[in-house]
Each structure stands twice: as C-alpha cells, then as structure tokens.
Amino acid sequence: MSGDAVSPGRTYSMISVVIVGAGPAGMMAAVAAAEAGASVTLLERNPFPGKKLRITGKGRCNVTNNCSPREVVEAVTANPKFLYGAVNRFSPADTMAFFENAGVPLKTERGRRVFPVSDKAADIQEAMKRKLREAGVRLLCGIRVTSLKPPEGDGEKWTVHAEREERKRDNHAGPSHEDAAPKREKLRFEADRVILCTGGVSYPLTGSDGDGHRMLKSLGVGITELKPSLVPIETKENFAPLSGLTLKNVTLTAWLGKDAVYSEMGEMLFTHFGVSGPLVLSASANMQKRPVTEYRLTVNLKPALTPEELDRRIRSDFEKYAAKDFVNALTDLLPKAMIPYVVKQCGVDPRKKTGEVTREERQALADVLTGFRIVPTGFRPIAEAIITAGGADVREIDPKTMEIRSHPGLYAAGELLDVNAYTGGYNLQIAFATGRAAGLAAGTEN
C-alpha cells in the first residue's frame, strides 16, 4: 500500500474529498481538487495508479489530440453536447501544457495524435504521480471500494466502504504451497464529497470491471447498456489466411442500409477472427445503434485513383499480363494473399486468360477494388474493447460539475460516463477534462 503523499505544513479547507479510481480521470480529479484546497484521498484497487494508462497507445500513450475543443466534440460518438463545456474549460492545449509543465516533452504525429517524445506511457504515469505528490494527495493503493452510503442528514458525510486484500503465507507449508487464502481488511472512509472514476468494463485485468456502475445503480442512478466500443469486428468471411495483413491508405465505410454511418481513410488489418486496426475500431464506435449484423462494411482499396484512372491502371496491367490467367494478373494491384478473395467477389473465372476478360468483367473488378465487401457478424468480447460504450446516464449529471443531480456531493468522471469517441487521443482527453471538472467542483466551497 502506498504511503500518504501529504505535503508538510499544507493548509486544507474544511472540504474532504474521496476519489475512487486512480486512472487518468481519477488522478486529474485528485490534482484539481487538492489544488482547489480540499483534503483529498485517492483510492486505487491496483498496487499502483495508472495501470491502464501504461498500456494505452500500445505502451506509448496517445495522451490527447492536438486539435480544437470543437474538433474533440465532433469526434465524440455518444452524447457529444454533454462534453462541450468540460472540453472547452480543459482543452487539448491545456492537457499538453499540463504534461509539458510536469516535465514530459510531447510530440504530434499523424492524425494529430500526441505522444510523449520518449514513446513511453510510463512517463505520463510518472508525471501524474509527481503531480499527486506535489498537490498533497493522499494516495492509497490495494484498496477496493465496495459500496457508498449517502449522508443521512445535515452535517453528515458520505461513507465509503472498502476492503484491502492481504495475503499471508502459511509458514508451515512446504516450498510449493501457494499463499493462504487472502484476508480482507474492512475499511471505512468519510468525506464531504466523493468522485467515482472507476472506468468502464473493458480491460478488466486493469481493474475496470463495473464496480462503479454497480455502486451508482444501487443509488438509483441510471446506467445505459454497456457495450464494447473501439473494438475489433468478427466477420462472416474466413480471413484467417490473411491474418496479420495490414492495409494502408484505404477507405473503410460502414453502412446501415443505404446510409454511410462512417467513412475514413487510414489503416486496417485482417485477423484470424475478422478485422481490426484503427479504421475498424473507429467504425465500431459508429455501429452501436443497431445490432452489428444490420451493418455492412466496404473497403476502397484504391481511394487515391479516380474511376477513370483505375480503369486505365487495370487495362495497363491486363495488357502487361495478357497471356496469363486472370488470377495471376493482379499481383501489381493487390497483396498476393488478397487476390483469391477479390477474384471470388468479382465473379470472373480465375483461369480465364486476361486478354479475354470483357469490359463488363473489368468493371466488376473495379467495383470490388473500390468496394471490397465485408459482412460483420459480431464484436469481439467487451474485455477486448479499448473503451466501453454506455455507462452513467449523462441526463442525470450536471455537465459543468459532473455532479449526480439526485445525490449532491457525488460526482462521476471518465469512462464511467456514457460518453465515448474515436481513437486518436480523444478518449483520454475526455477523461482528463471531465476529471478536472469534477475535481474543481468537488474541491471548491459552494
């Protein structure tokens, strides 16, 4: 368990704040509340804070997106209006300044994604820990909060029930004997205000397993359906032979009926179960309103070419390989592993001599190259999702302060809320902005 991180001689206001969850939202909320003058205790169930933060961006931590607040809101796929105020009050520029002032140089890469220059997520985590110490936050790790009890009258405080798991070794056991069953120490904290920053239900091994949702639900707070978002997609097609193949500079479009609900150029990859990669993850965030099987995906493999340019390119290749079979004339157009899939979709006899391919068959090939069809059958399990869609119903939360309207003194921030966005640093920006809003509100006298 971490020791207290209280600065000697620090003078606190009468406000006491307990924050549950030391992820990005929780740590930012703790710093903000402490800097506002509150006495802050931050509880984390893992042995150290920021466990999930360390694995974001494939261990590099895409800390924010170097864009305007308006562009952040435009990248939000669930309840964007709710975030307008919080993101304007703590913008991507503010997030970048926060970490650079904390000693972490940043850089902006493709898609305006912001990373530490070191490419180490641990640097962001360590910066947050330094800020906690400097602000005088009391950080207690290895503690799981189990329930909340609201104040029962004037002058009463919130009660936070928790437990600390301690394993004691059986000294009489042989060397191969496992640790004895854990002993759970019951703990109790009291505070004027409580902020829940327990995350969603994705990556449960990092501690995000729905505790916050259960606590809110027990208090009568609405929780919208929890679903995976920014998640790989399983497909009807067997893409196992293509597993590991990455397509760059292609355009992926998600369709619902005749309407394109998402279309973007970028990178995607094939897996043993279907498709993944940045484009697919972002598409999944736009495929939440209806069952996934009602959507369809198409990939433009040649988005840089106009129809006329593509036709000229196909005719040129066909002239070059006029004596070859159709299936062997596509090696300049496509990755070798994809050729059988494209040939099957366009319906041309693979053994037909290229010089005998008709204009209609050439057009059929062009149609597949610009609209390679993929049939989704499901999302991967929510445990594999980057974020959780759904959560605390934002209609029950003050967008300025993140306070639960029905429970004064109780706040929620970060992925616990029913808000989510595309990949690219937007979701961490949401966590930092909502965490800061909650921390400032909770740490300030009314």
Quick one: 13 exposed, middle or buried, by C-beta within 10 A (0-12, 13-18, 19+)? middle
CA–CA–CA angle 80, 83, 85 (5° rounding): 130
Residue 1 has pLDDT above 70, yes or no: no
Strand segments, DSSP code E, in 39-172 are: 39-44, 64-65, 76-78, 106-108, 113-116, 138-141, 143-149, 158-166
The per-residue pLDDT for 55 is 77
User: Across all residues in the chain, what is the average pLDDT?
Assistant: 90
Q: DSSP letter string over 239-257?
A: -GGGTT-EEEEEEEEEEET
Residue 12's pLDDT is 43
Q: What does the pLDDT look like over 14-69, one tens digit per residue?
A: 799 999 999 999 999 999 999 999 999 999 999 999 888 887 877 899 999 999 99
385, 169 in Cβ contact below 8 A? no
Q: Cα dihedral angle (404, 407, 412, 418), rounded to 10 degrees?
A: -50
Percentage, residues of the chain above pLDDT 70: 91
Indicate whether 314 pLDDT > 70. yes
Tell me: pLDDT of 388 over 90: no
pLDDT at 86 over 80: yes
pLDDT bracket for residue 385 (50, 70, 90): confident
> What does the pLDDT read at residue 399?
97
Look at residue 289 in the predicted model and tell me its pLDDT: 84
Give the whole-number percent of the chain exceeding pLDDT 90: 78
Of 90-94, 170-174, 316-320, 337-341, least confident by mean pLDDT is 170-174
154 pLDDT band, cuts 50/70/90, is confident
pLDDT at 54: 82
Interval 107-140: pLDDT, tens: 999 889 999 999 999 999 999 999 999 999 999 9
At 202, is the pLDDT very low, low, confident or very high (cuts 50, 70, 90)?
Answer: low
Cβ count near 418 (within 10 Å): 24
Residue 446 has pLDDT above 90, yes or no: no
* Phi, psi of 360, rounded to the nearest 5 degrees: -65, -40
Band the pLDDT of 7: cuts 50, 70, 90.
very low
Looking at residue 233, its pLDDT comes to: 96
The SS3 assignment for 209 reads coil
Nearest to 42 by CA among 136, 164, 134: 136
Q: pLDDT confidence of 318, banded at 50, 70, 90?
A: very high
Domains and CATH numbers, the chain: 16-227+386-442 (3.50.50.60), 232-301+373-379 (2.40.30.10), 307-370 (1.10.8)
| Paired strand residues for 255 | 260, 296
Question: Per-residue pLDDT tens for 174-195?
Answer: 444 444 556 789 999 999 999 9
* pLDDT score for 205: 55
Look-up of token digits 């290749």: 317
Q: Look up the pTM and report it.
A: 0.79
Q: What is the pLDDT of residues 279-300, one digit of tens each?
A: 999 899 889 889 999 999 999 9
pLDDT at 199 exceeding the cut of 90: no
Count CA atoms within 13 Å of residue 12 on its CB side: 18
